[in-house]
Amino acid sequence: MSTEKKNQIIDFLSAFFMLMALLTSSYFFLVQLKLSVGEWLAFNACSMAILTYLLCFVLFQITKQDFLLAIPLLPLYYYGTMGLFIMPWNEANVFPQLTHIIITLTVLWVLYKLLKAKKLKSLGKGLLTGLLVFVPVIACIQSYTQVHMQEFLQVLQRM
């Protein structure tokens, strides 16, 4: 099997696991907790990062422009990888932590793929685009969740 074929398999497996995590999250937040889409994306910002990755992945598959894979790295790292260290490791957080692991493996895979191919320009262009787009988005999400955290905790307690 060629290296390119192996890379494609890993790409699609990563996207598949991210999609499964997104669907599970959307079911929990939208159906079980009955939150709005905006509340779901704010209180589970990993979903926003995963949606961004999946959109960029699809666009990459269509255009073959490598920089698209690097655009979601900031929110994926911030919400996914950092979530491994912020969220408690207990039985209530098994699925969220599994999602954080999937996100972290995806971040590592994208970095490995771009660095191994020496696509530094694509990596830089994607990271810069991600910074310009997602720093304000992350700031808005953080502000919203701080202001509405008590309401969210009440919703969780009703479960």
Q: 114 is written with which tokens? A: 């771009």
Q: Tell me the pLDDT tens digit for each residue of 17-64.
A: 999 999 999 999 999 999 999 999 998 999 999 999 999 999 999 999
pLDDT tens figures, 79-114: 999 999 998 999 988 999 999 999 999 999 999 999
- pLDDT-based confidence at residue 156 (cuts at 50, 70, 90): confident
CA 54, 58, 62 angle in degrees (round to 5)?
165
CA–chain centroid gap for 97, Å, is: 13
Q: Specify the pLDDT at position 49.
A: 96
3-state secondary structure of 2: coil
Q: Model pTM greater than 0.85?
A: yes
DSSP per-residue string spanning 137-159: HHHHHHHHHHHHHHHHHHHHHT-
